[in-house]
Every structure is written in structure tokens, then in C-alpha cells.
Chains A and B, each alone.
Chain A
Amino acid sequence: MTQKKLYILLFICTIGSIGFISLLFAFTNKGPERDMSFKRGFLHDAPKKIHELDLEYNGYYIAGAYNNKIYLGNSQSPLYLITVDTTLDHKQEIRLAIDQDSLPLRSPQLRIIPPYFFLMDGTIPYILRGRTEDWKGYSMLENPFYFNQAQPIDSVTLAIRTISSKTKKFALGTIRFSDSTTLTLSHKLLKKQVDGIFDVDGTLQYNRQQQQLVYTYRYRNQYIVANDNLQTQLLGKTIDTISQTQIQVGTIVSKNQKKMSTPALMVNKSSSTSGNYLFVNSQILGKTESLILWEKSSVIDVYDIVNNRYEFSFYVENIGKNKLKTFYVMNDKFIGLIGNHMVIYQLGNRFKELQTPTVTVQNSNLIFQISKPKNNTGVPG
């Protein structure tokens, strides 16, 4: 082969290989799933962004919000949190004190329901509780109860999702700290469609005004509203029509692991609940919705969980290339984290009226009797 022919051949090979993969990508890249059977309603007077703050770090998550104060936890350093006013000034840093020397760092989660906070990691597991007056946390968990999502219901009860030792499937339940720690599970709330683990995945939230658990399935168009005793109050539907989970699960025999073996069709990525309402970040594009707008923003669907009704939707704009990562609704304020930024959207007047009730303090004497001896032997002060 002459040098010239060789270069031509190399050139053809390069173009051919790049072209082949690019075509493969072009034909298999479907973009967002569009569901022609529903149409979102967007308000003329849509919620508007009223504040934006650069947090200069993207590792924060929303640990809670109460009385116009937003609490941000930090997954890399679990003992550090910041609070910001809903006007996004008065940033304050807080350092937690705990009754042990160090905490294993796997997936610590902080939840704040003033006057209490919980620092927990259900994969280790541990739960520390303390008061927001002094930010000192005391170990609460005497038995190793594992869980992978938890939301405080009140000062002595947590709503959790865990893998049931009985069925080996996900189940919702509560952990209650009274004279002894008790775990209650309901095997009826989550409905298995494929394997009882991946297909029932979703986001667990607690609505303190309604005193109800709200679990929004990630891969199907449903949410569950249950009371504190884990009885179903309402089975709601999100507006799309994906009622059947579209996932496939494969097993890796050598590692005894199960994994999703095809990309899953995600319906409801994340959720938050406040007052009568549930807010869901949906991944399904509706009829007549602009694809351009869809790529530049995230859509939030609002449902009335008292009357089981879809209300309206609104867009939360990307910041740069970053999409809405997580959000939290406190009455009429929608708080979102996007990349390094925190944004606040103002919701309409009807979201305003409800007052967040103060946390009911139950058995508090008892609890602090249990935890005080640990305090004395643990971190001084």
C-alpha cells in the first residue's frame, strides 16, 4: 500500500467508526418520554423565582425548613449544617456535637423538625437526636434497625423505608422510641409489580399538617398517603399513564446482587409535601409541551392530597447546565437546590394559610432519662 492509500484508508476507518457509533446513538437516543394522553395545566400567574443564592458548594441537601428558616445538611461532613432565612440572607453555620468520638460516614442524613433534629444513617445504622437549642445529639438506637429512607414524624417517631426481614422486599414502617425502641412494618402499603425492591422505589415524605406519610413511586404513576399507624388513607395517581413499572431486573450470581438490567423509565424523580399538597418532579413530557422548555427546566406537578386531585404544574429553570436536584416545600415557599445554587419560588396565596404545627413532644422526659447517662459518659459538656 502506498503512503497515500494508507492515509485514505485510515481516514475512511476513522470516519466509518465514528459515524457508526454516532448513528447508533442517534437512532437509540429517544429523548424524554412523551405521553400523549395527558396535558399539564400551567397557571397564567405561575410561581416566580424570588430569591437565588450561590452556596459555593454542591454537596448540600435540605434537612428541613421551619418558620422561614431553611436548614441545609452536608453529606460530606455530617456534623456541619447551615441555616438560611427564606429571604436567603442571614446565613449561619452550625456545628453539631455528638455523644461519640466519630461517626462512620456512609450516607448520613440530617432531618430538622424544630425543636428537634435527627442525624441518622440507616445503613450503619445509627440515629442521633438532639435539640436545636444546643445542637447536641445523643444516640437513640439500641437495636440495629436498618433503613434506607427516614423522615421524622415527631420527637419520638420516625417513618422509615426498609427491607423487611420477613419478605426481603421493601416495606414502609415506623421506628418509635419509647421505653424500648420498637419497629413496626406494614407489608401492605407498597405493592410489588416486578421484584418488590426496584419497582417499589420512591420518595418517602411526611406531611406534618395532615399528619400523614406520603410515598411517591419513582417508576409508576402512583402515590400512597398513609396515617401514622401505616393505614392507607389514599392511593393517588400522578397525571401520566405509566401505571406499570417499566424496569427489568437481572441477577449477578457471582456477587449475589440484583441490578436493573435496562434503563428504567422514571416517572416521578422526587417529591415534597406541605399542607394539602404534594409536589412532584415528573420526568414524563406531556402532550403539547415544548421540548426546548423541558430541556431548560424541571417540571413540578402539584396535587391536592386531601381531595385526590391534580392542581397545576410549573417550571423550575435550570441554572447553567444544572437541573433541579432536590426540593422542599414550606407553605408558600418552594425551595430548590440546583448545582451550587439555592432558589426560592413564591407559590400562590392558597398555600400560605396553613401554619406548621409545632412538634408534639411525647414521652420527652422518658427519652431524656434514657439518653442522659450516655451524655455523661460521652462528649463532655
Chain B
Amino acid sequence: MKINSKYKNILLEFICFLYILLFVYAALSKLLVFDEFKIQIGQSAMLTPFADVVAWVIPFLEILIALLLIIPRFKLLGLFAAFNLMVMFTTYIFVILNFSNDVPCSCGGVIEKLGWTEHLMFNIAFVILATVGILIKNGQNNNGYIITPKYAIS
């Protein structure tokens, strides 16, 4: 049973690592071409009124969440924040693709090369990862670090 929790911990760290990598990369690739990113946000009819705010807030949030994930105390909070942001991104893509004539904006760097369906899949995968991370982390918190979580449903 110890081994089980050890693997879970590795999985948790791996999920956090993936998220940190993703968010830091995404934030930097936005900030590096900030004027372009701002224009892309502005082109999205849904975000036009808030383009200036959104363009700053998104990379800021991404870095903040990455920091939360690094600090052990805030890991669960970070995972929840990551989960929320990812669900929002996913909803945004889904809504724009299905209900609007616009094409969604705007991811940085190599992520831009994904097609929109792939992008949707990519996001959903990350949402699932965050969910798994939250479940593991919460189990650890409930049971101390080493003890196996019990799956009490009631």
C-alpha cells in the first residue's frame, strides 16, 4: 500500500510539473509578443471590450498558478485554480467553435500549431489531469502524507 501512495505522489508531482511547464511556457510566449497577443485578444468579439485587462490578466494568472503549484502548501489551491482556468479555456474554445463565426484567439508558441479539435482534446486532457491531481492531493491531505487514502464515499 505504501508503494501505491508513492506512485500516486509521483503522478501528482508529474501533473504539477506538466502544468507548471504549460503555464510558464504559455505566459512567456504571450508576454514575448505582447502587442500581437493583445491584438489577437481584441479580435475575438467576446473579449474585445476587455481586451486590455484580459491580455494582462491571463499571463499573470498563469504565472501565479505555476507559483502556487511549486509551493507545497498551496498545491491544492493551485490545482483548483489550474482546473478552473483550464475549464474556462476549454469552454471558450468550444463556445467559439460551435456558436460563433469567429475563430478563437490565441495561444502562444507551439500550442498555436494545434488544430482546434486537437486543441480541445489537449485542454480536456489537462482538465482530467488536474482532476486526478486534486483527488490525489486531497487524499494525501486527509490521511497525512504516507497513509493510503481510503475511498470513503458517504
Contact = CB atoms under 8 A, between A and B. Distances in A.
A3 B43 contact: no
Given A10-B83, A21-B88, A4 B154 contact: yes
A263 B43 contact: yes
Nearest to B96: A25
A166 interface: no
Interface in A241-276: 248, 250-255, 259-263
A231 B21 CA distance: 60
A293 to B, nearest CB: 17
A18 B127 CA distance: 13
Contacts of B84: 13, 16-17
B43 A261 contact: yes
A9 B39 CA distance: 35
Interface in B59-114: 80, 83-85, 87-88, 91-92, 95-96, 99-100, 102
B48 A17 contact: no
Contacts of B47: 28
B15 interface: no
Contacts of A255: 33, 36
Contacts of A21: 88, 91-92, 95
B142 A262 contact: no
A10 B51 CA distance: 29
> DSSP class of A's interface residues: helix, strand, loop or mixed?
helix
- Indicate the size class of the contact surface on chain A: 20 to 34
A115 to B, nearest CB: 41
Contact of B83 (A13, A20, A250): A13
A332 to B, nearest CB: 32
Interface string A21-60: 1101100111000000000000000000000000000000
B121 interface: no
Nearest to B92: A21
A29 B99 contact: yes
B142 to A, nearest CB: 7
Interface in B33-52: 33, 35-36, 38-39, 42-49, 51
Contacts of A248: 42
Contacts, number: 90
A13 B96 CA distance: 21
A259 B87 contact: no
Contacts of A262: 42-43, 48, 51
A107 B84 CA distance: 42
A380 B14 CA distance: 64
Contacts of A263: 43-45, 48, 102
B42 A250 contact: yes
B138 A259 contact: no
Central interface residue in B39, B43, B95, by most chain A CB within 10 Å: B39
A182 interface: no
Contact of A25 (B49, B95, B142): B95
Contact of A28 (B39, B46, B83): B46
Given A2-B152, A29-B46, A29-B99, A10 B131 contact: yes
Given A4-B153, A250-B35, A252-B33, A18 B91 contact: yes
Nearest to B142: A1
Contacts of A252: 33, 35-36, 39
A16 B80 CA distance: 12
A6 interface: yes
The 10 closest A-B pairs by CB, nearest first: A17-B87, A21-B91, A261-B42, A250-B39, A252-B36, A261-B39, A17-B88, A263-B45, A28-B46, A18-B91
Given A3-B153, A28-B47, A261-B42, 11 more contacts: A13-B84, A14-B87, A17-B91, A18-B87, A21-B88, A29-B99, A252-B35, A261-B51, A262-B51, A263-B44, A263-B102
27 contacts: A1-B138, A2-B142, A3-B151, A3-B152, A3-B153, A6-B138, A10-B131, A13-B80, A17-B84, A17-B88, A18-B88, A21-B88, A21-B92, A25-B46, A25-B96, A28-B49, A29-B99, A30-B45, A252-B35, A254-B33, A259-B36, A260-B43, A261-B43, A261-B51, A262-B43, A263-B43, A263-B48
Interface of B: 33, 35-36, 38-39, 42-49, 51, 80, 83-85, 87-88, 91-92, 95-96, 99-100, 102, 131, 134-135, 138, 141-142, 151-154
Interface of A: 1-4, 6, 9-10, 13-14, 16-18, 20-22, 24-25, 28-30, 248, 250-255, 259-263
